[in-house]
Amino acid sequence: MYQWVPKINSPEDLKKVPREKLPEVAKEYRKLLIETVAKTGGHLGTSLGALELNIALHYVFASPKDKICWDVGHQAYVHKMITGRKDRMSTLRQYGGISGFPSPEESPHDHFIVAHAGTAISQALGLAIARDHKGGNEKIIAVVGDGSLTSGLAYEALNNAGHLRPEMLVILNDNEWSISKNVGAISKYLNKIITNPLYNRIRGEVERQLDRFPRLRRFATASLESMKHLLVPGILFEELGFRYFGPIDGHDIIGLVDTLSKIKKIKELCFLHILTQKGKGVEWAEKDAERLHGVTPFDVKTGAKIKTPEEEAKSKLEGISYTKAFVKSLIQLAHEDRRIVAITAAMPSGTGLADFQKEFPDRFFDVGIAEQHAITFAGGLAKGGLKPVCAIYSTFLQRSQDQLIHDVALQKLGIVIAMDRAGLVGADGATHNGVFDISYLGHIPGTAIAAPRDEAEILQMLKIGLNYPGIFALRYPRGNVPKFYEQFPVKEFGVGEGEILREGSDVALLALGSMIEVAYRAAQILAQEGVEARVASLRFAQPLDEKLLLETAKKTRFLFTLEEHNLTGGLGTKVLEFFERQESSQEVTIHRFALPDQFIEHGSRELLLDHFGLSAEKVANQVLHRIKAPSTRLAITEELA
């Protein structure tokens, strides 16, 4: 079935393959990639698009001495296979398995953890300057794709690279939008000329000779550059200081190898533009590249999602996704108020705003991978009298810290931030877990942080947020709304107002958002042990329902906070700080259930919650242990399991 792939366990093995056989190698890797991701899930579309590039890079360069910086890392699945991880691909994105992104802990061929866009050029530039400082001779390559050039960080790096001009190569994997239309015979001919070694030797010699005649050099340069403006599609990059090559067919592996081999000999700052197709080699993927950006296990022939019996059983207990509930509520409110506008940072489908765009195309803005700009832009919209709603994943919002503080909060502008994927996200792991947002938003004056339990609360919180005079952050998890919440009646509430869902006088479980169901089920387990627990849905991490907290502390001295967030700076920290400010000498013991202060790797949400003591059973067991343990403390205490 496979002739070449079984023999390739390192870049050195790949180099033994005859050049003319590389198309066969690419065909085998494409088949293996599809079969693998069909079982594990993953970022299939981009990996298929960059497949030939992965092979060509390792065929031409000498990794790990030569350093390949990926941006974003989900282009690099075949890179993983070539660099000795082929046999572990069945564990891709699984708990205890290999990451869906490059990871230096896995291989010396991976130089950075890369899962957020826009980083590769900056990282490669740093490596190139460090190499020159130490007198090294390794090649440095940055592979930029999947819309990364919409990131401001990428342009900052391009600008700085053009100023410093070290020897390095930036490869643009252009697979979604056309920077240049002139792809055909002329561009192929131009590329053939400008990568020709003889041409480059002549060009270099002519430039050196012209240095002796400044006036002639100015005339020659002006004439040649004017002609280049007419013919060369990458003049922007030339003006920034790069030698531009391309665009070329990124699926012509022989052509790629030839071009890279020629550029490798050019000791300058170079830029290679290749054109690829997301989902290349899978008919249904080619027709719907966005759908294949990230996938769960699927049927190879049809692309239909495959669910395990456990997933099927779970789906029967769930309603619509939190993302769908958010955009459904936003559309409803936007029909009532035309001042409402929506912003996303290159994630219209992931955030659900593609549906808003269909309904209100003139009130929707996709700013690209530019979260900083999204927030400042939203501030400008608010200043202009509109009501902006920014839908950005919790993990990506991290990038906009200065803009949140300086451009919005300090200006006293009202914007809503819908933080999708707050909490654990599963297979994407440490780079995508949204477990820092309460801490990085909670220190900003005037910021409200809300966590809805269901669709009704999303609607109510959006209504509040759209009229809030500051930053109003709505954090909700990846996944569907549990039908569990249907038992609780819908109630109106205001900013910072919580709700008691279950009465009890022995202990109190103070839960936020996704942890409410865990707290309630833990209370039911405790009841079987003769312990009655009061369960409160705080709804807000900031501001807190102070009245509810003081009232609860009078009923029981054992308070337990539950949150799907890191321990430091989260809900529990805020509850501790609140009681610390109280002048009362009332005795109260506070225990925090939260995620540890560490980067949490990939694995299913349920498995990770249980592992870190946040399942209903483990919460109940810890509560029993804590209340039975002797304590002589008379002041506020904090404890962590």
Catalytic sites, residue numbers:
278, 371, 399
Orientation of helix 51-60 relative to helix 22-40, angle to 10°? 130
Q: Which residue has the tokens 């794709």?
A: 145
> One-letter amino acid identity for 186?
I
Orientation of helix 571-581 relative to helix 546-555, angle to 10°? 80
Query: Quick one: DSSP state of residue 300?
Result: T
**Angstrom distance (rounded) from CA 480 to CA 367:** 27
> Do the bridges between strand 480-482 and strand 318-321 make them parallel or antiparallel, or are there none, so unpaired?
antiparallel
Residue 420 φ then ψ, to 5°: -70, 160
Q: Which two tokens stand for residue 402?
A: 């200065």
| 244 alpha-carbon distance from chain centroid | 30
Q: Which two tokens stand for residue 488?
A: 């609780």
Residue 236: CB partners within 8 Å, gap ≥ 6?
none
> Do the bridges between strand 589-595 and strand 558-566 make them parallel or antiparallel, or are there none, so unpaired?
parallel
Q: Specify burial of residue 72 (Cβ count, 10 A radius: 0-12, 13-18, 19+).
A: buried
Question: CA triplet 152, 161, 51: central angle to 5 degrees?
Answer: 75
- What 346-351 contacts at long range (C-beta under 8 Å, 24+ apart), as own/partner pairs, is 346/117, 346/147, 346/150, 346/370, 347/391, 347/392, 347/393, 347/396, 349/290, 350/323, 350/393, 350/420, 351/323, 351/327, 351/391, 351/392, 351/393, 351/418, 351/420
Q: Specify burial of residue 246 (Cβ count, 10 A radius: 0-12, 13-18, 19+).
A: buried
Cα radius of gyration rounded to whole Å, the chain = 28
**Angstrom distance (rounded) from CA 502 to CA 504:** 7
Q: Which two tokens stand for residue 46?
A: 């981009």
> Do the bridges between strand 507-511 and strand 540-542 make them parallel or antiparallel, or are there none, so unpaired?
unpaired
Q: Which two tokens stand for residue 200?
A: 């480059």
**Angstrom distance (rounded) from CA 476 to CA 437:** 11
